[in-house]
Amino acid sequence: MTEAPILIVGGGPAGASAAATLAEAGLPVLLVEQRDQLGGAIHRQPANGAGNHVWRPARHRRNWAALTARLRACAGMIEIRTQTVFLGVDGEGRFLFDDRRAGRVFASRPRAAIVAVGAVETIRPFPGWELPGVMTAGGAQVLLKETGRPPEGPILIAGSGPLLPALAAQLARAGNPPVAVLERGRPWRRPATLARLALAGGPMGEAAAYAAALALARVPYRGGAVVTRAEPDGAGLTVGMRIGADERVLRVRHLLIHDGIEPNRVGIPLPAPEAAVPVLLAGDGREALGADAALLDGRRAALQLLARLGAGAAELAGLESRLERARRVQAALAQALRSEPVEPAPETLICRCEGRSYADLQALDGDASAREIRLMGRFGLGACQGRFCGPMIAALRGRPVPAASPPRWPLRPVSVAALARLSTDETE
């Protein structure tokens, strides 16, 4: 490729869709993915040597098969670099990557960039959420997809959102159904919203399949249920919960928690009209609208970029209309599952990296800015740079995510040896 390529960061449905659209239009593309295979979280492929026995809805399988066929058809226009981690943007505006296959860092100054790095999970903290045996539902689902094997021992899934029954159904079909699914919201109290969701087509058919799998495995689904604490108990956990007005305790091996997702924006270069390199966001990293919408959003970003470069984009209006429908579905889901926030106990850990509790957060002035929360409270200063604790603090304090501004790089750990072998696209 002699022409500077369009850089796409992230090989999930949005990034792969954008890559295929641009390549089909005749533009060279550099597609960078941190895993060893494309797919992202929703289409995560099994690890080398692992069989993939994880059940997925047929619609998702068809969508990914069609997209990978498009990528193969225009493979000559796309350079794919897997096991390559985005590190950030340096002071000269170059995108930095850690090529872990080659053991070196390289810098690229692309013609334009589409960043499709997905979302991060959020949780509502409670005492013990940081203990061994507790992990996010999304993380557990990724492990299940990569290994094909469910965790051993009793599993409890708790929090809020459509991922809970989806993961529960996959665990049940993999041979270890959870002992229960605890949903914080009470969707049956909003029948009008449920009626609107019933007309949503594909997503609701998917939800019905999950419900059928849970019924077949006799997995109870409880609404209005909140985990109040988790405590170590030998090789497992004792989990305290409140279901309605009842307090209960359950002993499990694993507690999987999830309370939605937020676009991954920490360290991500945001679109700016005056930027020398045009940058667009796509997929859940721009707006969390679901797997089907991520495919559309990747195409939307590619067509917007083509329009900037002088190509036609007549399809954009139709795409925006379909994305708006997805937006309405997500809004209805959020309304159906909405629940009142519960103030954490003072000892609840908020920032795991720095060991800062809710009591430490409360000790700060109520009008403390995001910067003061970072520097005076030491929240968001650790390895995750506020990716995980930031949404918690924003929900608890009504302040923006306390991320560094501008974000420091590298965003991920990188070896000194790899940095010493830095190369640029001007010298490759």
The answer for 278, left when phi > 0, alpha when psi is -120 to 50, beta otherwise, is beta
| Region label for 230, one of left (φ > 0), alpha (ψ between -120 and 50) or beta (otherwise) | beta
pLDDT at 426: 54
Query: What confidence tens digit (pLDDT) does each residue in 92-112 have?
Result: 778 999 999 999 999 988 999
Write down the pLDDT at residue 48.
72
Q: Is the pLDDT of residue 297 over 50?
A: yes
User: pLDDT value at position 407?
Assistant: 57
Q: Is the pLDDT of residue 39 over 80?
A: yes
More confidently predicted of 313 and 172? 172
How does residue 1 score in pLDDT terms, banded at 50, 70 and 90? very low
* 295 membership: H or E segment, kind and range: helix 291-308
| Average pLDDT of the segment spanning 21-50 | 89
Tokens of 321: 């209309």
Quick one: how far is CA 344 from the chain centroid? 24
In this predicted structure, the answer to whether residue 203 has a pLDDT above a threshold of 80 is no
Average pLDDT, integer, range 394-407 = 65
What is the share, in percent, of the chain residues with pLDDT greater than 90? 59
Band of pLDDT at residue 427, cut at 50, 70 and 90:
very low
pLDDT for residue 49: 61
Pick 342 or 254 by higher pLDDT. 254
Contacts of residue 314, defined as CB under 8 A and 6 or more positions apart, other chains included, come to: none
The mean pLDDT of 107-130, rounded to a whole number, is: 93
- Predicted confidence at residue 288, as pLDDT, reads 92
Torsion of Cα atoms, 104 then 107 then 112 then 115, to 10°: 50
C-beta separation of 162 from 204 below 8 A: no
Q: Is the Cβ–Cβ distance between 260 and 160 less than 8 Å?
A: yes
Give the contacts of 23 (CB within 8 A, at least 6 positions apart): 29, 71, 74, 77, 78
Q: Rounded distance, CA 411 to CA 385, Å?
A: 8
d(CA 301, CA 213): 36
Compute how many other C-beta atoms are within 10 angstroms of the C-beta atom of residue 207.
Answer: 19
What average pLDDT does the segment 310-338 reach? 86
Q: Which residues does residue 230 pair with via DSSP β-bridges, in sequence order?
A: 239
Burial (0-12, 13-18, 19+ Cβ within 10 Å), 178: buried
Q: Using 50, 70 and 90 to split pLDDT, how confident is the model at 114?
A: very high
Give the per-residue pLDDT at 317.
Answer: 80
Cβ burial 215-242 (10 Å sphere, 16+ → b, else e): eebebebebbbbbbbbeeeeebbebbbe
DSSP 277: S
Q: What angle do CA 101, 407, 346 make, to 5 degrees?
A: 110
**Cis omega (within 30 of 0) for bond into 400:** no
When pLDDT is cut at 50, 70 and 90, the band that residue 408 belongs to is low
295 has a pLDDT exceeding 90: yes
Output the pLDDT for position 366: 78
pLDDT of residue 406 exceeding 60: no
Q: Is the pLDDT of residue 270 over 80?
A: no
* Domains within the chain, CATH numbers bracketed: 6-120+262-311 (3.50.50.60), 123-259 (3.50.50.60), 349-397 (no CATH)
pLDDT tier at 56, thresholds 50, 70, 90: confident
- Span 8-21, mean pLDDT? 97
Q: How far apart are the first and last CA of the chain?
A: 12
At 193, the pLDDT band (50, 70, 90 cuts) reads: confident
Question: Among 3-17, 273-287, 311-325, whose mean pLDDT is lowest?
Answer: 311-325
* Contact of 116 with 64, CB cutoff 8 Å: no
Mean pLDDT, the chain, integer: 88
pLDDT attached to residue 80 = 96
Containing 183, the helix (H) or strand (E) segment is strand 180-183
Q: What is the pLDDT of residue 98?
A: 94
- The answer to whether residue 230 scores a pLDDT higher than 90 is yes
Tens digit of pLDDT for each residue in 128-148?
A: 999 999 999 999 999 999 888
pLDDT value, residue 428: 45
> Can you read off the two tokens belonging to residue 377?
């409270």
C-alpha distances (whole Å) from 217 to each of 90, 143, 171, 180 are 52, 21, 10, 11
